[in-house]
Structure 1
Amino acid sequence: MALEHSAPTARAVRDAEETTCCIVGGGPAGAVLALLLARQGIPVTLLEQHADFDRDFRGDTLHPSILEVLDEIGLAERLLELPHAKVRTATVPTASGQAPIVDFSCLKTRFPFIAMMPQSRFLDFITAEAQRYPSFRLLMGANVQELIEEGGVVQGVRYQGRDGWHEVRARLTVGADGRFSKVRKLAGLAAITTSPPMDVLWLRVSKHPEEVGGVMGRFGSGAMLVELDRGAQWQLGYVIRKGSYKQVQAAGIDALRQSIAALDPTLADRVHEIQDWKQVSLLSVAADRLKRWYKPGLLLIGDAAHVMSPAGGNGINYAIMDAVATANLLTEPLKAGRVTSAGLARVQRRRELPTRIIQTIISGVQDRVINRALDPCTAFQLPLLFRLPLLRNLPLIRELPVRLIGFGIRREHVAPEIRNPVAMTAPVEA
């Protein structure tokens, strides 16, 4: 059935293209979904509003479940040839020193670690792979401003590029444009929100070659520090009470340096590298999920459908699992040109419960651990199960957090029938 064109708008549209699937947002969810669809010969256009993927302090964690997905389509080994750091443990301070609370070596997988890789490098890799397929088109600098909606059905988007307005018309439009989703706002979809008790200041200091990597948490009176191994650097997450950034900033950069050094004295010899607030990036922590992830002709996935707290590092994992489930469930309907609201509802049903469960778990951790750690009037202690080796080493307590972080709840696998790419209609240079 041919796509019906809408009445002319007041603005001059330079051109209109037609595709089968238009994905808004070139983050992990959008890029992986575009790749999986392009491998099946489905015409897909990926719109990214920025000129490149290079943004500082985006999520850089590739969980074992993500690496398994890439392995299923033959890309994991090539990806891991790119520079990255492997995180095999996460530790917290105890009376006897740093104690592991997560050890990925116990996971039954080819990839018993989290790969730390700049998100821009990952996205460049995924989109370069997608560009091998003639059905894929990537448009950078495409700032979506309108949904094209006719007869109650979303038929595509209008976006602003450097040279004016353009249209992309599609049988299915996917909003994968992150926590500040424009598509979500344009669609008017309502969300259920929670109020995490913290914000995070991201910054970096150098890492000595002899230092053991991994993820480490440090707690002090009213403060918390997370250290992520980034190869030659430590990426630091300085956790503060919600809305307190102005007070932290007013205290001065030297007070921030002193607090970091007090939380982890081993960093005292390099906190001087933090020279001014331009090196500090504020993440205003939020968490929510849409009541409904779709409307006719439109589906939202990843942070556009459910904003995840950074606690536990679940955002990218759940976004990519959404993308895999979407590809598994909608590849055949897209090929047949019959994407129904019932089909979109199946994606939400598949992914909503895992999202709700992990958000509930993380909310509990934030309230019972992080909120207490950030209370300057309370002497903070870790929960008993982390402080006592006998409890910490029980198989269930040892393995459950590892599986939750490494695989998530209901990890997705690429369906066997779409693991192999369809034959290309024309040769494309790698």
Structure 2
Amino acid sequence: MLASLHGAMHAFPMDTEIETDAVIVGGGPAGLMLGLLLVRRGLDVTVIEKHADFLRDFRGDTIHPSTQQLLAELGLLDEFLARPHADMSRVTLSWHGAELTLADFSRLPTARRVMTFMPQWDFLDLLADAAGRRPGFHLLRSTRVAGVTRENGRIVGVTGTGPDGAVDVRARVVVDASGRDSEVRAAAGLTPVGVAAAMDVLWFRLPKHPGETHPFIQAGEGMIITIDRGEFLQIAHVIPAGTWTGSTDDVQRMIQRVRRIAPGLGAAAADLTGEDVHLLRVRLERLRRWWSDGLLCIGDAAHAMSPAGGVGINLAIQDAVAAARVLGPALERGTPRIRDLRRVQRRRTWPVVVTQGVQRILQRPLLASTPVGAPLPVPLRLLRDHPALTRVTGRFVGLGARPERL
């Protein structure tokens, strides 16, 4: 059965075949941004998302100045700002109680000179709503992709299962934006190469009392990041890789570390159990080749990042912008060729390599446990003694190594 798609969401009968210009696997920041940019060109785009909604805890909340500039260019900035959010004009760190500025966004050439924190499900809803207002956009929720379809050696679509049965989507190009555990990438025979990550992250919530505030980053005997989500505090605690088993002893040691690093959070952390704490394993890896004939990988499917700097979303969105700039005209001409897919990788490899290199350098100081009164690590001393450098780090964090524009 061949189905023609009309509208942002559509209920299909079992064993449905769908034809579209571009099928994007993964409804995260990269996938939805690319879908929005392509449908704005008048193309027919299908985004496949395995979940029924975007409500998941383990997603980054940071929306960088460069992404907000992009939203302004798309006419979506006011709609973005109407959603719950919090702004940060500088990234600060409390090192044994002494506050330092790590990155200053106040001089950036962007519409907004702040890093904004917004629950990612709100941000994704914004992109999906904007794309859904276009007649060529189709979002298949609760649909899990099982493999790719090949014809004469070229990938021409994906197969999977939706709420009502099997789904077969054919397209002139397949874009994999499904993340670092991508099954599409594996089915295409693309395998990432990794650099051993020195850290993992423990992710948990703590209750928030009226008027309660905490530094964004607290460090000195390990590191804790506190994200204020209004009704509660979302905590990310960096630990050495491979040291967490989830045992009762592990939980108690973690609570003691929280008390030392962030005394203001110690009382709230005392009641945590192993069920409250979720382990996020950090991986630094990337594909040597982001493409196969008919398929392009972007975002975490092409390069898994450390959470350091919260730059993963920014890089993924910039991948999407670069991909749209190449794939849009190629789709308008016909079927994208291998050289088009190579162009996207050539454009985006350098910023990925640079960013991962910086993240590797940061791993050790982020895990450092130093006594009170010990000298600051050299990078922190430089930022403290030369404040102008915080504008350089602000540009790197806020814009990325290679910003992308429409």
- Match in the other structure for 1:228: 227
Q: How far did 1:275 drift?
A: 3.2
Distance in 1 separating the partners of 2:205 and 2:376: 26
- Match in the other structure for 1:184: 185
Residues 390 and 236 of structure 1: CA distance in aligned 2, closer, same or farther (over 3 Å): closer
- Match in the other structure for 2:279: 282
Residues 387 and 377 of structure 1: CA distance in aligned 2, closer, same or farther (over 3 Å): closer
Mapped pair 1:311 → 2:308: yes
- Match in the other structure for 1:382: 376
Distance in 2 separating the partners of 1:163 and 1:20: 23
Distance in 1 separating the partners of 2:373 and 2:384: 23
Range 96-105 or range 304-313, more displaced:
96-105
Q: How far did 1:392 drift?
A: 3.4
> For this pair of structures, how many residues does the alignment match?
394
Read off the aligned partner of 1:17 and give its amino acid letter. I
Distance in 2 separating the partners of 1:262 and 1:96: 11
- Match in the other structure for 1:403: 395
Mapped pair 1:334 → 2:331: yes
Alignment map for 1:242-253 (pairs within 5 Å) = 242-246=241-245, 249-253=247-251
- Match in the other structure for 1:266: 264
- Match in the other structure for 1:413: 405
Gaps in structure 1 of 5+ consecutive residues: 1-12, 415-430
Residues 388 and 123 of structure 1: CA distance in aligned 2, closer, same or farther (over 3 Å): closer
**Aligned match for 2:349, one of 348, 352, 375:** 352
- Match in the other structure for 2:139: 138
Distance in 1 separating the partners of 2:159 and 2:289: 23
Gaps in structure 2 of 5+ consecutive residues: 1-13
SS in structure 2 at match of 1:411: coil
SS in structure 1 at match of 2:175: strand
Residues 380 and 33 of structure 1: CA distance in aligned 2, closer, same or farther (over 3 Å): farther
Q: How far did 1:182 drift?
A: 1.0
Distance in 2 separating the partners of 1:342 and 1:268: 55
Give TM-score scaled by structure 2 length. 0.91
Contact 2:220–2:371 (Cα < 8 Å) also in 1: no
Contact 1:89–1:215 (Cα < 8 Å) also in 2: no
Residues 94 and 409 of structure 1: CA distance in aligned 2, closer, same or farther (over 3 Å): same
- Match in the other structure for 2:7: none
Read off the aligned partner of 1:305 and give its amino acid letter. A
Contact 1:385–1:392 (Cα < 8 Å) also in 2: no
**Aligned match for 1:392, one of 386, 397, 400:** 386
Give aligned-pair identity as a percent.
Answer: 40
Alignment map for 1:9-408 (pairs within 5 Å) = 14-94=15-95, 97-212=98-213, 215-220=216-221, 223-246=222-245, 249-272=247-270, 274-367=271-364, 369-371=365-367, 373=368, 381-387=375-381, 391-393=385-387, 395=388, 397-408=389-400
Distance in 1 separating the partners of 2:195 and 2:323: 26
- Match in the other structure for 1:423: none
Contact 2:196–2:283 (Cα < 8 Å) also in 1: yes
Distance in 2 separating the partners of 1:185 and 1:380: 47
Read off the aligned partner of 1:18 and give its amino acid letter. E
Distance in 1 separating the partners of 2:297 and 2:153: 17
Distance in 2 separating the partners of 1:357 and 1:87: 24
Residues 106 and 51 of structure 1: CA distance in aligned 2, closer, same or farther (over 3 Å): same
